[in-house]
Structure 1
Amino acid sequence: MYGVIRLKAWVALTVLGLLLASGAVAQDAHLKRLDNGDDAKAWEAVGRLDINGKGFCTGALIAPKLVLTAAHCMYDSETGERIDKGHIEFLAGWRNGRAGAYRDVARVVVHPSYVYQEELSSERVRNDLALLELDQPIRNTSIKPFGTGARPRAGDSVGVVSYALDRAEAPSLQEMCAVLARQDGVLVTSCSVDFGSSGAPIFVIEDGEAQIVSVVSAKAEVRGEQVSLGTALGQPLAELQAELVAGRFIYLGAKPGERRIGAGERLGGGAKFVSP
């Protein structure tokens, strides 16, 4: 549950630029675990989203009270229902049992055109965005929100910072991977992601600053190559922000007396991850 969705085949992605895959993947950087403060310093605004006591996603701070992530993280994969009674906590810079900031979520806005369904399509991935409004802003000088930028072109280099099932206690950085194709508002990249990486920021470096240009939605296997699918920002993010301003949201909060998952508690064997 709440992990990157695996996809064996998607006809729409068997064309347009994927012949670049072999050459691009060969130049990709290896994942680097951000275990210490020096390595993680620039990435403290990336955090783990603990969801409903069953799993986690990755999210990134884009304003003191706003976290950007994937919309499908806000749905229960077993029922298809929106998560409206559980608990979501953003652990900014979560690393080896500690976070730079702990925040509950007051509001969630899912892109108005996003439809949660079993079958993946370019439309589902294209709109796979959610904004989480935190109950209190994060104003820690070491946790600087990321800016956002225009979507990159095929052949451009990008990077990704993500948590995943095998790296749940500290994020990993892949400084260089490639945009293999842009298609129907979806970025196809060679970035290495796994379950738990949903919502992770894909970024470019502009004037020495990391800018988010996409959010990880799914991973796929196309022609024997592992690729990741990202939601392009731009218009979809603007539409999402408009929904937030208009006051449309899903309220999330535990019922009185309900047990909340405490910060730092390990997510147990109840975690389920979608693997179609």
Structure 2
Amino acid sequence: MIRQLARSAVLVIATTLGAQAQDSGLVTLETRQESQGWEAVGRLDIRGKGFCTAALIRDRLILTAAHCLYDIDGTLIDPSRFSFQAGLRDGLAQTTRSVIRGIAHPDYTHSGEATNARAVAIDIAVLELDRPIRNTRMRPYRIAERPITGDQVGVVSYGRGREDAASLQQVCNVLGRQTGVIVMTCDVEYGSSGSPVFMMNDGETRIASVVSAMAHVNGQKVSLGTSLEGPLNALLSHFATLGPARPGGTQRLINADERNDTGAKFIRP
């Protein structure tokens, strides 16, 4: 699942499209050697709906897009329908975990088939696993500082037509930021929602953003992500205040009548 931008005029970075360095192509991570360092990225299967992509950030927490927690009719998905397949390759996961609850950003409002730029800027969620993942090859990723215009990033994702193995795009470019939305040249597809966007910090691979949507600007396909710096801190702070997971533990931490209106409309396929 991934959102698609309906109105690209809101994006003011269109004039920078010719300035970025050359992107690298997608590479399928088919072997253990190619997958080394990316084992903590996995396919987040949603029974009866499809899949997203997620990444391990603590031994029992995975990070993905908030809209992955919602069904087609806008209702929250029961956590029992989620399954995290870490390091999935050739249809076989290195580790599989069930989910006991999912928590979206406290200010995120899911508005069915349409949302706005402000929602994309906080389109993140954490899902708590039924058991920790403690594996020397699957260490949780740390969080990077937010990328700025001109930075090079990479993305690991699953997607339509490449469901059985993750794909790595080692180099794509940050075109700009607007209203907390990071605009990138990363190649994403349906199923790539929640994919971790990586940067290198002192030789360590860290997550700098999460893929929320795709768009077209001046005819060029771009991807949209969340700036994690503030939103993830807010989300994890809310998570820290919660007690043990309850049955049916997917939680909405906002009121149903809250809305974020900016005028920039997005649509979900």
1:115: which partner in 2? 109
SS in 2 for 1:178: strand
Q: Distance in 2 between matches of 1:39 and 1:215?
A: 22
Question: What is the CA deviation profile of residues 114-172 of structure 1, one whole-angstrom value per residue up to 9, with x for unaligned ones?
Answer: 01113231111011000011110000111111110110110110000000011100000
Shift of 1:104: 0.4
Q: What per-residue deviation string (whole Å, max 9, x for no partner) do you get for residues 73-123 of structure 1?
A: 00012x111112651000000111211111001121111110111323111
2:80–2:99 contact (8 Å) kept in structure 1: no
Matches within 5 A, 1:118-137: 118-137=113-132
Q: Select the residue among 3, 6, 9 that pairs with 2:4.
A: 6
Q: For the residues of structure 2 that align with 1:167 and 1:161, how far apart are their CA atoms?
A: 12
Select which of 232, 240, 248 maps to 1:245: 240
1:109 and 1:250 in contact (8 A); partners too: no
Amino acid at match of 1:11: A
1:161 equivalent to 2:159? Answer: no
Q: Residue 237 of structure 1: SS of its match in structure 2?
A: helix
Q: Which amino acid aligns with 2:65?
A: A
User: Can you give the 5+ residue segments of structure 2 that lack an aligned partner in the other structure?
Assistant: 250-266
Task: Please name the residue that 1:106 is paired with.
Answer: 100
The more displaced of 84-93 and 120-129 is 84-93
Which of 188, 191, 194 aligns to 1:196? It is 191
Aligned residues of 1:88 and 1:104 also touching (Cα < 8 A): yes
Structure 1 position 22 matched with structure 2 position 29 = no
Whether 1:35 aligns to 2:33 is: no
- Matched letter for residue 108 of structure 1: G
Shift of 1:234: 1.1
Distance 1:190 1:18 in 2: 12
* Structure 1 contact 108–250 (Cα < 8 Å) conserved: no
| Percent identity over paired residues | 47
Task: Indicate whether 1:186 and 2:184 are aligned.
Answer: no
TM-score scaled to structure 2, two decimals?
A: 0.89
Letter in 2 for 1:62: I
In structure 2, C-alpha distance between the alignment counterparts of 1:197 and 1:250, rounded to whole Å: 29
Runs of 4+ aligned structure 1 residues displaced above 3 Å come to 248-253
Are 2:226 and 1:228 aligned? no
1:61 aligns with 2:56: yes
Q: CA RMSD in A?
A: 1.7
Partner of 1:49: 44
Cα offset, 1:250, TM superposition: 7.8
**Which deviations, in whole Å up to 9, do the C-alpha atoms of 1:168-198 show, x marking residues without a partner?**
0000000000000111111000000010000
CA contact (8 A) 2:69 2:77 kept: yes
1:212 is matched with 207
Q: Which runs of 5+ in 1 are unaligned?
A: 254-272
Output the CA distance in 2 between the equivalents of 1:108 and 1:148: 20
Residue 92 of structure 1 aligns with which residue? 86
Tell me the SS of whatever aligns to 2:139: coil
Q: Return the alpha-carbon distance in structure 2 between the equivalents of residues 161 and 80 of structure 1.
A: 27
SS in 1 for 2:115: coil
CA gap 1:250/1:203 in 2 versus in 1, 3 angstroms: farther
Report if the CA contact (8 A) 1:108-1:251 is conserved. no
Asked if 1:142 is matched to 2:157, the reply is no
The answer to whether structure 1 residue 83 and structure 2 residue 77 are counterparts is yes
CA distance in structure 2 between the aligned counterparts of 1:202 and 1:250, rounded to whole angstroms: 31
